[in-house]
Amino acid sequence: MNTDNLSALAVGVGVVALIAGFGVYFNNPDLNKAASGQQKNFVPAAIIENGTVTEVQIDKSQFKLAPELAQISGYINTDLVTLADLRGKVVLIDFWTYSCINCIRTIPYLNAWYEKYADDGLVIVGVHTPEFEFEKDYDNVKAAVEKFGIKYPVAQDNDKGTWKAYENRYWPRKYLVDNEGYIRYDHIGEGSYAETEKVIQSLLLERAAYMGITNTTTPLDQSISNPKNAQSVNFGRIDTPELYFGYQFARAPLGNPEGFRPDQTVKYTIPEDTTTILPNRIYLDGGWKNNADHMELQSETGRVVLSYSAKAVNIVAGGSSGSVLYISEDGSSLTGSSSRGADVSEDGTIAIDGQKLYNLAMHENYGKHQLVINVKGKGFEIYTFTFG
């Protein structure tokens, strides 16, 4: 973990005007629903006048003390981390899980903030609370941390002890905790990155004032981060919600008339006339075992068809490492296509090599498409479709 560089904590004139009084609210009911308990307005406790940082007295009894991390089963990028040990720092707690596309799109900003402000007193703790059973595996989480270039500490919340302590229900969710341990900001879902960063800057300013650092000759970097690998999403243009394959997770019926049959293996068939396929419904072909959180292919081959409306489409999948997916859209293979996803090979296939999120297609514009996944290999498991 980086040490403090106190001289870098000073900030330029006008920061308070940038961060005071705004609200944060992620309002996309099909992907992440906002909660009424969200801390929506930030009140600064320090100002800068004539180049001097000054504390402003505010009643902190209006804020909750951040609960301690609870029932952590493992750590990555650190041996141990507790909020008690981090008292005196500004702490960003990020609830995430590694197959969640909304969480993945947030990570470039978290990485940028950690690199930019760690020496100024910011600590980020990624609380990894699994949605699916395979996300409890330490090696799976560690591989994801390495893939996404995460350098900050990650705590495995496999039993949801910390999740419950914070009364959380959403991925991702960010809490900003000040140097005295109070939750000062709370944001659900993606977005509001500039606002979040301004709050980080303000809390670092407060910390400087609290520590008696008032010299502003070396300003804190007040620029707003814009990571090169960040993806922007227009949720108003995505007409297909996240779709789950597990019968306990399902938010919509299957397109097949056979429907979900808990814990049974069902022989599904897809209509020969694909023009009759309804949008935003999953259609299956082949023998599939209906599990609580996923479908598992029991035949040697199978097929998944979905008509969706978005710019990008992903699946969370895993199972047999020998399984191969043959991807086509709108009647054509993705072989050599400019719209093939990041995980699709030049020949239009995906070789399943772990339980994770796979990007199937990435189009230049938002639009309607019919996706066909032909599967070869018994034991293939598919959990969900997500979109961007």
Lowest mean pLDDT among 93-97, 264-268, 331-335: 331-335
SS (H, E, C) 133-156: HHHHCHHHHHHHHHHCCCCCCEEE
Q: Quick one: pLDDT band at residue 196, thresholds 50, 70, 90?
A: very high
Q: Which residues pair with 176 in a beta bridge?
A: 92, 185
Stretch among 29-33, 153-157, 176-180 having the lowest mean pLDDT: 29-33
pLDDT for residue 298: 98
pLDDT in tens, 53-74: 666 677 788 899 999 999 999 9
Q: What is the tally of helices (H) and strands (E) in the chain?
A: 5, 18
Domains defined for the chain, CATH in brackets: 6-210 (3.40.30.10), 235-387 (2.60.120.260)
- Tell whether the torsion through CA atoms of 237, 147, 293 and 314 is positive or negative: positive
What H or E segment, with its residue span, contains residue 36?
Answer: none
**CA–CA gap between residue 157 and residue 95 (Å, rounded):** 9
Q: Residue 385's beta-bridge partner residues?
A: 243, 315
- Supply the pLDDT for residue 231: 84
Give the pLDDT of residue 132. Answer: 97
Closest CA to 69 of 185, 146, 150, 153: 153
Give the model's pLDDT for residue 17: 28
Q: Which two tokens stand for residue 272?
A: 């020969």
Q: Residue 136 and residue 129: Cα distance in Å, rounded?
A: 8
Q: At residue 291, what are phi and psi to the nearest 5 degrees?
A: -105, 165
Phi, psi of 285 (to 5 degrees): -135, 135
List of residues 6+ apart from 156 with CB closer than 8 A = 72, 73, 74, 75, 76, 128, 136, 138, 141
Residue 227 burial (CB count, 10 A): 15
- State mean pLDDT over 205-215: 80
